[in-house]
Structure formats: C-alpha cells, structure tokens
Amino acid sequence: MNRYITDTIKSDSLKALKKIVNIPSINSTKEDERAFPPFGKGIDSALKEMLSICDKLGMDTFYDPEGYYGYADYGEGDEMVGVLCHLDVVPEGDREKWKSDPFTATERDGAVYGRGTQDDKGPTIAALYAFKAVADAGETFGKKIRFIFGTDEETLWRCMDMYKSHEKLPDIGFVPDGVFPLVYAEKGLLQIKMTGPGATKVEAHCGESPNVVPDTAEYCGAGDITELSARFKALSIPHTVKEDKIIVHGKSAHSSVAGDGKNAIALLAKGLVGLQPHPAVSFIAEKIGFETNGESLFGEVIEDRSGKLTLNVGKLEIKPSFSEIVLDIRIPVTHDKDELMGTLKEAAAVYGFDCQVFDYLPALHVPIESPLVQTLWKVYRDKTEDSTEPKITGGATYARAMPNMVAFGAHFPNSKSLAHMENEHITLTDFYNAMDIYAEAIYRLCCQ
C-alpha cells in the first residue's frame, strides 16, 4: 500500500485550504443578470486563486475568458481522468451562531472552521494535494489528470454547461463532494418556483437558497407583534422580536437530508395560519407542514434502493406585488418528474399559485459492477478496512454533469455532516485521511 502523504504535503495543503476558505465565494448576481464575472467577484477571486495554487504545483492551467470555469492539467496521456470540484459556497446563514468568522479559516480543537471546509473547498484541496503527493513521489502518469473547477454548483450549474460546450470531457473520474466509500446513484433534483398573489398586510422574507433548510424566517405585517409573539410562545415556536419583526428560529441542514433540520419557514407558517391568512402561508401549513417527504402533497413516493422523496421549502417571499415559494425536491431514482409536477400544479392552483421548474437534474446511476466503482471502492476498503457499501443519496453532485463519474468522499461515514450549516468545519484527521485515499485512487486511475 502506497504512503504518499508527507508532512510537507500536510503543511502546504493546510495553508492552501485556509487561503481559499478566506475568500467569500457566494453568488452575488441575479439569476437573469448578464455580468462579468458571471457570478460575482468573490467566486471569480476564488477561481483565480485556485488556478494560481495549481500553477505553483506544476500544473498547466486554463481560465475561461468568460469566467465560468477553470481547469488544471498534468500528464500527457490520450485518456483523461477528471476530478470535478466547485468553489462557490452557500451563504453563511445566521452569523450569530458561528463561533468564528465564517470567512476566516480558523483552526481550533483539531479542525478548520469556515464556510466551504466540507462543501467543497476542503475536499477539493485534499484531492489536489493528493495529486501533488503522487507526482512528488515520481509516479508516471500514463493518463492526463484534469481538475475542473466549477463556480455555479450551489445554484444552476451554468459553469458545467459552459465547460461541456467548449471543452473535452474526461473519460472517467470522480467528484470529491460526497461521502465515502462512494455514491454510485443520486436522486433526481427538482427545484420549483411557485408564484402567487401579493399582500398589503403580510410581509415575509425567508430563506437564502433552495438547497438549504432555512434556520431563520422573518415576518412583519399587520397585527400586534406582542400578541403574535405570545401566540408563537404558546405554540412552542422558537423566536425573537426585533423592532417590528418576528424572527423564527429553526435549524439549518442540507435539503437532501431535510429531516436533519428544522425548517423555520414551516414553523412560521404554523404560527401564522388562521391568524394572518395568506395563500402562501396556508399552502405551506396545510400541504407541507413539518413533513420532509411530501406525503401530504404526493402520497408516499418511495423506491427500494434510494428511499423516500425529500422535500424542502427553501424560500418564501410575500410582498405587495407577489408571493413566491421555492421548493427543493429530491426524487427517488425510478420515479417520474412530470407526474410529480402534475400533482403539484393541481394542488398549488387551489391556492392561486402557478408552478414553474427552476432547475432539474435527472437521477444518476453508474452500475455498481463498473470498473470505476469497483476500483474506488477497493481503494477505500484497502485504506480503511471498512466494508461499508456504496451509497445512493439525495445529494446532487457534479457527477451527474458528465459520463462515468461518481461522488467519492470526502465525508466519512461516522463523521458529522455540517455542509450548509453554521460552524461548518473539517477535522484535520478527516482532511488528511481523505487526502491519503485520494492519492491512492489517483495512482490507480492515472498511473497503473
């Protein structure tokens, strides 16, 4: 078994991780805005910094002139092994819940804290320095390895669309943006915007991203705030009062595991329904509530391998001119998107809402007996002596973007998942262990 990860690699990779986490690479542009850089200066700065790191590692780099993506190559083989990574991150959420600045990488208690340490900057740096370790050991790369850096993974994947329209696709590869041992199938991803009537006496601004369970929901509108607060207290709805607003408090989580969080929008709807009537509030309270499987809307949607449907109310806006609900739905591998949309449209129409698809990614399935899956699974078993089976998840990774790709780590089975949550961090043990696994995987995919 190869041992590539040296103390120098560990030290250099940690410095690089802190440098890239310190760049707040949140999408700062509107969905229909045409700008340069396309997703804001923060993301563009992270992309340029990552390519600078790759330059210093001896790789050949390319920056897309339009700013959508970049890549770094090493080796001269006819076949290409791709490592697909993303540099954008979700917003930090409630800063008051962070014990340190989310955009100042902070090392404490054997871990590095900061937004992106788990999703996806930490795994990206681990894979990149794993490559560097293999190259430094003098191994011969019979295949080209290409690290592809995306900038729009947390929203609409426009970076991948641009890459695929201009560049060669890898023959095989992996995405360091999932769990170990690996993910060979992913549920379909369906994000929907529901648009309905506005209101003059009700105003709400809740949620920042469809794929995050919102941990706060703000309401201001008609009615005595003191009385409303008393109602919320009687219903055991965690909240605070700030001037003329009520702020409901939940618990954030990634929408693919929405059941791990507490949706502040659902809590707000529970407190308001029947008291401050509005179709958006009524729809959420009556047709979704605290369910994360969509059963009241769709009935039971389940598949033997990939489990139940997952539903998250990611955003709610109520303004004088319109209201909007944004849903994130993870669909079991064998179920039909169009059938679900038909059911949702019928239910929404009763409340005066129109439904439009905001984003859709079909399910992914790479056969478990494929050489890629078998190779990566064996690397994991050899390194860890863990016999955990490959997984099917509700997460959506870049593995769907190109053929013959799977998500491979960097999250370990017994480690706490903090992606999209406050105090996101990666332990140094997990960081270096993932790096060791990635180094062996890169050796077997590129050098044997």
> Per the omega criterion (within 30 degrees of 0), is the bond before 37 cis?
yes
Length of the chain equals 448
Kindly report, as residue ranges, where domains of CATH 3.30.70.360 are found in the chain. Answer: 188-361
Instruction: Categorize the per-residue pLDDT at 93 as very low, low, confident or very high, splitting at 50, 70 and 90.
Output: confident
d(CA 141, CA 134): 9
- Mean pLDDT calculated for residue range 420-426: 95
Least confident stretch, 115-129, 184-198, 272-286, 368-382: 272-286
Helix (H) or strand (E) holding 310: strand 310-318
**Residue 415 is encoded by which pair of tokens?**
């480690």
Reduce the DSSP state of residue 392 to 3 states and report it: strand
CA nearest to 211, candidates 422, 420, 425, 426 = 420
d(CA 380, CA 440): 9
- Mean pLDDT calculated for residue range 264-293: 93
CATH C-level class of 7-186+364-446: alpha beta
Instruction: Categorize the per-residue pLDDT at 395 as very low, low, confident or very high, splitting at 50, 70 and 90.
Output: confident
Least confident stretch, 80-89, 212-221, 320-329: 212-221
Which sequence positions are flagged as catalytic? 88, 153
CB 260 within 8 A of CB 300: no
Instruction: Categorize the per-residue pLDDT at 277 as very low, low, confident or very high, splitting at 50, 70 and 90.
Output: confident
Output the pLDDT for position 448. Answer: 83
Least confident stretch, 102-106, 255-259, 312-316: 255-259
**Residue 235 is encoded by which pair of tokens?**
């219903």
Least confident stretch, 68-77, 110-119, 184-193, 224-233: 224-233
CB 14 within 8 A of CB 440: no
- Mean pLDDT calculated for residue range 306-330: 95
**Residue 89 is encoded by which pair of tokens?**
């991150």
CA nearest to 439, candidates 95, 131, 146 = 131
- Mean pLDDT calculated for residue range 300-325: 93
Non-local CB neighbours of 382 within 8 Å, separated by 6+ positions: 1, 440
CB 119 within 8 A of CB 424: yes
Tens-digit pLDDT profile for residues 328-341: 999 998 898 999 99
User: Which residues lie across from 303 on neighbouring strands?
Assistant: 307
Return the percentage of the chain with pLDDT > 70, whole number. Answer: 99
Least confident stretch, 94-98, 113-117, 133-137: 94-98
Q: Which residue has the higher pLDDT, 424 or 276?
A: 424
Instruction: Categorize the per-residue pLDDT at 275 as very low, low, confident or very high, splitting at 50, 70 and 90.
Output: confident
CB 152 within 8 A of CB 31: no
Average pLDDT, the chain: 94
Output the pLDDT for position 222. Answer: 66
**Residue 318 is encoded by which pair of tokens?**
């109520």
* Chosen CATH of 188-361 out of 2.60.40.1080, 3.30.470.20, 2.30.30.60, 3.30.70.360: 3.30.70.360
Instruction: Categorize the per-residue pLDDT at 427 as very low, low, confident or very high, splitting at 50, 70 and 90.
Output: very high
Q: Which residue has the higher pLDDT, 201 or 54?
A: 54
HEC profile of 214-272: CCEEEEEECCCHHHHHHHHHHCCCCEEEECCEEEEECECCEHHHHHHCECHHHHHHHHH
**Residue 268 is encoded by which pair of tokens?**
């707000």
Q: For residues 341, 345, 346 and 348, what is the CA-based torsion angle, rounded to 10 degrees?
A: 130
Q: Does the structure show a pLDDT above 70 at 223?
A: no
Q: Does the structure show a pLDDT above 80 at 66?
A: yes
Sole residue written with tokens 């120098």: 8
Output the pLDDT for position 305. Answer: 80
Tens-digit pLDDT profile for residues 124-157: 999 999 999 999 999 999 999 999 999 999 988 9
Kindly report, as residue ranges, where domains of CATH 3.40.630.10 are found in the chain. Answer: 7-186+364-446
State the DSSP code for 37. Answer: S
Output the pLDDT for position 225. Answer: 83
**Residue 46 is encoded by which pair of tokens?**
């992270």
User: Which residues lie across from 219 on neighbouring strands?
Assistant: 204, 246
Handedness of CA 345, 350, 351, 352 (dihedral sign): positive
Q: Does the structure show a pLDDT above 90 at 220?
A: no
- Mean pLDDT calculated for residue range 33-38: 85
